[in-house]
Amino acid sequence: MGQDIFAIVKQVISKELEVEEEKITPESRIQEDLGADSLDVMNITMRLEDEFNLRIPDEDLTKISTVQDIVDYIQSHLQSS
């Protein structure tokens, strides 16, 4: 399941930021490495919320900086729902 989540997250980020999927790793920092600005982060968040049918509160977004952080967050919230 974790690999599936990573693949979907990678796809969404790639499409939103126009970055090749191969350049996106679990360690990639969304803003520093992939060049996302705050609007990009919001767009990515909304697409992931739709994709996984969950809500990511703003206060949780401040704790997310890498692609792996997103995957871990989604994984833990899908298991608890």
CATH value at residue 58: 1.10.1200.10
Catalytic residue at 58?
no
Q: How confident is the model at residue 79 (pLDDT cuts 50, 70, 90)?
A: confident
Using DSSP's 3-state secondary structure scheme, residue 60 falls into: helix
Using DSSP's 3-state secondary structure scheme, residue 1 falls into: coil
Given the residues 4, 33, 37, 60, select the one marked as catalytic.
Answer: 37
What is the domain count for the chain? Answer: 1
pLDDT at 80: 66
Tens digit of each residue's pLDDT (9 = 90 or more) over 8-45: 999 999 999 999 999 999 999 999 999 999 999 999 99
pTM for this one?
0.91
Q: Enumerate the β-bridge partners of residue 71.
A: none
Q: Which two tokens stand for residue 4?
A: 């599936």
Q: Which domain holds residue 67?
A: 2-79
pLDDT at 56: 94
